[in-house]
C-alpha cells in the first residue's frame, strides 16, 4: 500500500521536533505563543489534507453506487463512518471532514468555491469552512448563488480573525441580512428542534436534557443568570436591594450546579402550585428584544440570531416597549454628574448601544456586564452614556489592573493596550441592530 509521497517526509520532520514538557516550559511567553501558532498552522494543514481525502472517500461512496461504493464494500454504512474508523476521530469530526472535503472534491455547491480555495490555500481551517457553509445555507428565491458567493468571500476574509464559533454566528447574521424574508422560516425551524428528554438512571438519579429554541433560552438564561451570576463572575456593582442576596449566594456552601438545581426545582414547585387565573408577579424573567426603526426583524438581547417581526410584536404585546433614541453619532441619553452609578434607564441604553461586553472577542451579554467610566469618576468623570461602556467583570478588572485604557473619539471607542501588548483596537458594538445600521 502506497500513500502520498510527501506524508512520510513530513512525518519524519515532525517526529524530529523534540516533544517534552521541558522543551516548552523554558520558553519565554512570546516564544510559547509563537510556538502555539506554528503548531496550529501544522494542524490546519494536516486537517485540510484529511478533509480532501474524506471528500474523495465520500465521492467514491456516493449513495447511487449502493453496495459497490467504497464505504459499503469495506463494511461501513456511510463514508462518515469509514472516515471515523480509519482516522480514529469522533463522529462529529468525521462528518465535518466529509462535508468540507465534498466542497473541494465535487464542487456541488459552486457558491462556496471561495471557501474551497480558502481551505486549499491555508487561509481557512476546516472548522471555519464548515461554519461558513452551515451559516450561509443554500440559495433561495430571494438569495441567488451570486449573492451567496459574494457573502462567502466576505466571510473568508473575516475568517482570518474569527474563531469557528464566532464565524458561524457571523455567517448566520449575514444570511439574515441578505434574506430577511426567510427569518421567520429559520426561526420556525429552530423552534421545531426544541425538545426535553427525561431519563431515569440505574443509580437512582435522573437526567434531563433540554434543547431550547432561542426564545426559550432567553427566558431560561435570564433566570439562570439571576440565580447564579454572583458565583460565576457576574457584575459586582448591584443595588442595595440585591446586595444581601448576592452575599448570601456567595456564602452558600452548595456548588453552583447544586444551587441552580435547587432554584429551578423551587420554580417548578411554585409554578405547579400557582393559581392559573392570576398573573405572575413582577419578578418574572424578562426578554429584551432590540429592533431598529423600520426594520423587519429584531434580536433577542445576548443572542446573534434574528427573530421575525411577528415575534417582536408578540413579545411587545405581552410586555412593553421602551424607545431608546440615538443621535447622529450613535450616542444615547445623557444624565450628567449627579450620581456615580449608572441608572437603570442608562443601563438599558448602554445595552442597546453596546450589545454586551465590548472587549474584542468577548460574547458576554449585557446582563453580565458592568458600566465602566472611560474617565474615572474620582478624577472628574461623568456618568454620561457617551462616557460609559459595558465590560464584563473579567475585562473590566483586566483593563483596570493591567494598564489598558479606553478612549472615545466621537461615537467610536478605542482600546489602548500597554505598548508591549500591541496596537490600539476599535471596540465594535455587539448589538446586531447597531451593526446593520452602521453598514447601511
Question: What kind and span of H or E run contains 226?
Answer: helix 214-228
Q: What is the pLDDT of residues 261-307, one digit of tens each?
A: 988 888 887 776 655 443 333 445 567 777 777 677 887 777 777 88
pLDDT at 190: 87
Mean pLDDT of 249-266: 82
pLDDT at 368: 78
Q: What is the pLDDT of residues 189-218, one digit of tens each?
A: 888 999 999 999 889 899 999 999 988 888
What CA–CA distance (Å, rounded) separates 11 from 321?
62
Q: Which of 93-102, 120-129, 400-409 has the lowest mean pLDDT?
A: 400-409
pLDDT at 222: 83
pLDDT at residue 96 above 80? Answer: yes
Helix axes 91-106, 79-87, angle to 10 degrees: 120
What CA–CA distance (Å, rounded) separates 105 from 65?
17
97 SS3 class: helix
Mean pLDDT of 309-324: 62
Whether residue 311 contacts residue 304, with contact meaning beta carbons closer than 8 Å, is answered with: no
pLDDT bracket for residue 316 (50, 70, 90): low
Which region, left, alpha or beta, applies to residue 361 given φ > 0 means left and ψ of -120 to 50 means alpha?
Answer: left
Residues in Cβ contact with 210 at an 8 Å cutoff, skipping those fewer than 6 apart: 195, 196, 197, 220
What CA–CA distance (Å, rounded) separates 43 from 52?
14
Buried/exposed code over 251-281 (b: 16+ C-beta within 10 A; e: otherwise): eeeeeeeebbeebeeeeeeeeeeeeeeeeee
pLDDT bracket for residue 221 (50, 70, 90): confident
Greater confidence (151 vs 432) lies with 151
Buried/exposed code over 202-215 (b: 16+ C-beta within 10 A; e: otherwise): eeeeeeeeeebbbb
pLDDT at 232: 58
Give me the phi and psi of 47, to 5 degrees please: -65, -35
Q: What is the C-alpha end-to-end distance of the chain, expressed in Å?
A: 57
Q: Which of 95-104, 114-123, 162-171, 306-315 has the lowest mean pLDDT?
A: 306-315
Predicted TM-score (pTM) above 0.95: no
What CA–CA distance (Å, rounded) separates 234 from 188?
32
Query: Cell 465521492 appears where?
Result: 59
DSSP percent split of the chain into helix, strand, coil, nearest 5: 55, 10, 35
**Closest of 350, 69, 406, 336 to residue 235, by C-alpha:** 350
Q: What is the pLDDT of residues 171-187, one digit of tens each?
A: 998 998 898 888 888 88
pLDDT at 280: 36
Residues in Cβ contact with 201 at an 8 Å cutoff, skipping those fewer than 6 apart: 207
As a whole number, the mean pLDDT across the chain is: 82
Mean pLDDT of 32-51: 94
Most distant CA pair in the chain, distance: 79
Q: Strand (E) positions, 255-368? A: 289-290, 297-300, 306-308
Q: Report the Cα 188 to chain-centroid distance in Å.
A: 20
Q: Which residues are 199's β-sheet partners?
A: 207
What CA–CA distance (Å, rounded) separates 348 from 351?
5
Q: What is the pLDDT of residues 136-173, one digit of tens each?
A: 999 988 899 999 999 999 999 999 889 999 999 999 98
4 SS3 class: coil
Whether residue 365 contacts residue 397, with contact meaning beta carbons closer than 8 Å, is answered with: no
**Closest of 110, 96, 181 to residue 148, by C-alpha:** 110
Q: Report the Cα 319 to chain-centroid distance in Å.
A: 27
Whether residue 206 contacts residue 198, with contact meaning beta carbons closer than 8 Å, is answered with: yes
pLDDT at 336: 40
In terms of residues, how long is the chain? 440
pLDDT at 277: 42
181 SS3 class: helix
Cβ neighbour number for residue 169 with a 10 Å cutoff: 18
Question: What kind and span of H or E run contains 210?
Answer: strand 206-211
Give percent of the chain above pLDDT 90.
35
pLDDT at residue 19 above 50? Answer: yes
Residues in Cβ contact with 169 at an 8 Å cutoff, skipping those fewer than 6 apart: 135, 304, 305
Greater confidence (133 vs 411) lies with 133
Give me the phi and psi of 274, to 5 degrees please: -70, 150
Amino acid at each position: 500500500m502506497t500513500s502520498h509521497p510527501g506524508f512520510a517526509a513530513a512525518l519524519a520532520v515532525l517526529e524530529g521536533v523534540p516533544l517534552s514538557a521541558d522543551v516548552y516550559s523554558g520558553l519565554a511567553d512570546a516564544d510559547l505563543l509563537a510556538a502555539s501558532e506554528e503548531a496550529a498552522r501544522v494542524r490546519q494543514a494536516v486537517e485540510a489534507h484529511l478533509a480532501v481525502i474524506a471528500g474523495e472517500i465520500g465521492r467514491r461512496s456516493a449513495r447511487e453506487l449502493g453496495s459497490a461504493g467504497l464505504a459499503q464494500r469495506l463494511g461501513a454504512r456511510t463514508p462518515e463512518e469509514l472516515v471515523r474508523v480509519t482516522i480514529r476521530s469522533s463522529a462529529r469530526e468525521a462528518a465535518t471532514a466529509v462535508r468540507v472535503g465534498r466542497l473541494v472534491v465535487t464542487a456541488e455547491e459552486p457558491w462556496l468555491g471561495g471557501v474551497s480555495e480558502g481551505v486549499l490555500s491555508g487561509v481557512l481551517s476546516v472548522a471555519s469552512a464548515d461554519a461558513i457553509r452551515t451559516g450561509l445555507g443554500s440559495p433561495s428565491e430571494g438569495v441567488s448563488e451570486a449573492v451567496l458567493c459574494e457573502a462567502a468571500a466576505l466571510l473568508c476574509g473575516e475568517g482570518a480573525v474569527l474563531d469557528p464559533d464566532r464565524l458561524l454566528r457571523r455567517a448566520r447574521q449575514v444570511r439574515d441580512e441578505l434574506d430577511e424574508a426567510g427569518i421567520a422560516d429559520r426561526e420556525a425551524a429552530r423552534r421545531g428542534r426544541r425538545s426535553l428528554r427525561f431519563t431515569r438512571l440505574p443509580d437512582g438519579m435522573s437526567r434531563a436534557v433540554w434543547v431550547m429554541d432561542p426564545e426559550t433560552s432567553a427566558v431560561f438564561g435570564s433566570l439562570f443568570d439571576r440565580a447564579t451570576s454572583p458565583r460565576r463572575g457576574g457584575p459586582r456593582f448591584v443595588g442595595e436591594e440585591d446586595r444581601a442576596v448576592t452575599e448570601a449566594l456567595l456564602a452558600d456552601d452548595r456548588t453552583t450546579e447544586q444551587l441552580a438545581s435547587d432554584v429551578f426545582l423551587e420554580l417548578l414547585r411554585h409554578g405547579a402550585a400557582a393559581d392559573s387565573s392570576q398573573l405572575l408577579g413582577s419578578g418574572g424573567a424578562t426578554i429584551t428584544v432590540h429592533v431598529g426603526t423600520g426594520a423587519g426583524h429584531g434580536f433577542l438581547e445576548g443572542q446573534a440570531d434574528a427573530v421575525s417581526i411577528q415575534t417582536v410584536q408578540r413579545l411587545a404585546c405581552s410586555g412593553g416597549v421602551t424607545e431608546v433614541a440615538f443621535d447622529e453619532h450613535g450616542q444615547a441619553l445623557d444624565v450628567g454628574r449627579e450620581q456615580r452609578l449608572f441608572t437603570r434607564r442608562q443601563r438599558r441604553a448602554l445595552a442597546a448601544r453596546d450589545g454586551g461586553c465590548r472587549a474584542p472577542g468577548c460574547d458576554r451579554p449585557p446582563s453580565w456586564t458592568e458600566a465602566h467610566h472611560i474617565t474615572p469618576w474620582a478624577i472628574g468623570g461623568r456618568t454620561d452614556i457617551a462616557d460609559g461602556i459595558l465590560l464584563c467583570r473579567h475585562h473590566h478588572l483586566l483593563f483596570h489592573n493591567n494598564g489598558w485604557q479606553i478612549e472615545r473619539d466621537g461615537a467610536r471607542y478605542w482600546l489602548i493596550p500597554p505598548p508591549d501588548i500591541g496596537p490600539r483596537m476599535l471596540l465594535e458594538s455587539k448589538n446586531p441592530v447597531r451593526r446593520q445600521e452602521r453598514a447601511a
